[in-house]
Structure 1
């Protein structure tokens, strides 16, 4: 039985984790939430306060590189320092990507978050195609996205409203204009800050995530950096960390990402591009590739100006990327399966050989 359940619910504990705790927790084990990641350890918070925690040897051996605990995760630990993490509890949501490079491995950016603020700045960072990519990943992971168009103070009101109209052509999720410098939009953002929920901030480097956190916390808790001349920004946040707000909610800051490769994003792509899927239902052929086939509703929509070619190309690019990644995952699965089977056959052969000697 969990002691002081109300306290843990205020930290974001959900029924899915409570059920797992009741099934798996041993004596002297208690739930804790990871609020920051370090190179070889974590900072956790529990009924005993906060402190450093380390993975047990068994858990480190059992978990794959792509399924290690991440900021926002709930775990089971011992009740005394040094805290040893013995179990990773189920997640109700996650935001993840494929790690940069050639390896086909998942990287968890944030776990157990209710909302994700996708921050875009109204300078050269503003990019509809990038927004579609982020939204595909966010909506695949189970969190609700909200787009914040930051640095509205850089534009005239008309220019800002035009950017708002542009983003609303590719999504129906909530979108808000914001200035972390002047405070415009702060009251609207504050309406999302409800007790017990966790909100992650994500976006490219230099879009102002740390400035937003500082504005919402009314304190200078995050370093901020000047944007470079090319508008790419500098990394001022280097780790994923949860901040606690006086409203009772939690903000999870993440480092800016210059590379965002898809991971298990098929469902999110379908949600982000639902308009194209609805058009495809009216194509003459059920297996229409929207290329040269007659009676293609998607091609017709593009010809009539009801669907931009850029948006369709974005959809096609993300679908192809997701399909290629799935093929690589299937191939890796088969390779690992063959390795396991080979090891089993080798062990059986060894046992039979030893029996023959008796």
Structure 2
């Protein structure tokens, strides 16, 4: 296998500086800090060098699945030490679960993100919007993949298609792991030498899709629950080589999908908003009360859904909040706390 089959192209070659004496490899799995990397001749376990581990200030700058790294092999080529992470061309990230604004890198150097929505209990247009923002933020091409299309009736399936069309103009594909419908089209969409990623909540059928594409039960799946919802099985992010030459990154289901400071990503994820805001009379229009607001006019005409606009504002506000410095956040939270105390005191009076 040559590196180009793993996705290494002139863009990465131009950025592979200071790697003399080291071997270029791609991270194919990360699990609790341990890595596996694949180079031209083998896949081996790898660990971080002391310099990389202790002098990297942000966790998101450490190797993640899909990264290109420079490694030093040892033990007769059976293991490696990672010394350098090459620049990322694209990425998928989110705000880490819990409090704070820490970033969590999901995958790097992804060409296409298949955003999975199951046509049953999991279907959620608002969550789809968040995934689209995630893809736009990292420069990744999105494709919406509807799974379990055998479960709803024709009218319900058509309703879900319409809901997706209201949210995005991205390509939409449909598959059923029960009937096999749509899988030939899905395989054709995964090009040799390109990297795809499966994104979706737990139980939407990601592992089943991987097994179907591989043509064997390479990964464990579990029977769906009595409600018809899938059961979570994937526990780590990993890059899988398909027989077609395409690469596929499988990811665990994400219960929380907080956005970071990604104003540009949100605008790209809500493509119609950019066109509308550029037509507003005022450049700093807040789209609330100003005259000549193209956004409010579109809502009144029925060209833009009120809920869609509300979600846009919600994500913008969320992104703006997490762009604030930690000091600004503390000040804001402290001021809010004083306001609450003042209100409570007034109510007692």
TM-score by structure 2 length? 0.88
**Other-structure match for 1:10:** 5
Q: Matched residues in 1 for 2:233 and 2:313: separation?
A: 34
Q: Matched residues in 2 for 1:295 and 1:231: separation?
A: 48
- 1:110 equivalent among 107, 110, 126: 107
**Other-structure match for 1:135:** 132
- Whether the aligned pair in 1 keeps the contact of 2:268 and 2:274 (CA below 8 Å) is no
Q: Cα deviations across residues 40-65 of structure 1 (Å, max 9, x unaligned)?
A: 32111113411110000001012122
* 260-269 vs 188-197, which moves further: 260-269
Matches within 5 A, 1:94-105: 94-105=91-102
* 207-216 vs 226-235, which moves further: 226-235
- Whether the aligned pair in 1 keeps the contact of 2:47 and 2:80 (CA below 8 Å) is yes
- Whether the aligned pair in 2 keeps the contact of 1:152 and 1:160 (CA below 8 Å) is yes
Q: Cα deviations across residues 249-296 of structure 1 (Å, max 9, x unaligned)?
A: 111100000101112422221112221232223333332222222332
Q: Matched residues in 1 for 2:240 and 2:205: separation?
A: 16
CA separation of 1:226 and 1:329: change in aligned 2, threshold 3 A: farther
**Other-structure match for 2:88:** 91
Q: Does 2:268 correspond to 1:275?
A: no
Q: Cα deviations across residues 113-169 of structure 1 (Å, max 9, x unaligned)?
A: 111110110112112111111100111101111110000000223321221122012
The offset of 1:228, in angstroms, is 4.2
Q: Kindly report structure 1 stretches of 4+ aligned residues shifted beyond 3 Å.
A: 226-234, 328-332
* 271-280 vs 235-244, which moves further: 271-280
**Other-structure match for 2:298:** 301
- 1:71 equivalent among 65, 72, 83: 65
- Whether the aligned pair in 2 keeps the contact of 1:125 and 1:231 (CA below 8 Å) is no
**Other-structure match for 1:32:** 25
- Whether the aligned pair in 2 keeps the contact of 1:119 and 1:201 (CA below 8 Å) is yes
- Whether the aligned pair in 1 keeps the contact of 2:205 and 2:230 (CA below 8 Å) is no
**Other-structure match for 1:346:** none
Q: Matched residues in 1 for 2:91 and 2:229: separation?
A: 26
Gaps of 5+ in 1: 1-5, 333-358
* 47-56 vs 11-20, which moves further: 11-20
- Whether the aligned pair in 2 keeps the contact of 1:70 and 1:108 (CA below 8 Å) is yes
Q: Matched residues in 2 for 1:204 and 1:171: separation?
A: 19
Matches within 5 A, 1:132-211: 132-211=129-208
- Whether the aligned pair in 2 keeps the contact of 1:205 and 1:232 (CA below 8 Å) is no
The offset of 1:315, in angstroms, is 0.2
Gaps of 5+ in 2: 330-349
Q: Matched residues in 1 for 2:91 and 2:231: separation?
A: 25
The offset of 1:331, in angstroms, is 5.2
Matches within 5 A, 1:243-254: 243-254=240-251
Give the number of aligned pairs.
325
- Whether the aligned pair in 2 keeps the contact of 1:16 and 1:90 (CA below 8 Å) is no
Q: Matched residues in 1 for 2:10 and 2:132: separation?
A: 26
TM-score by structure 1 length? 0.86
Question: Is the partner of 1:169 in helix, strand or coil?
Answer: helix
The offset of 1:226, in angstroms, is 3.8
**Other-structure match for 1:20:** 15
**Other-structure match for 2:308:** 311
Q: Matched residues in 2 for 1:186 and 1:329: separation?
A: 46
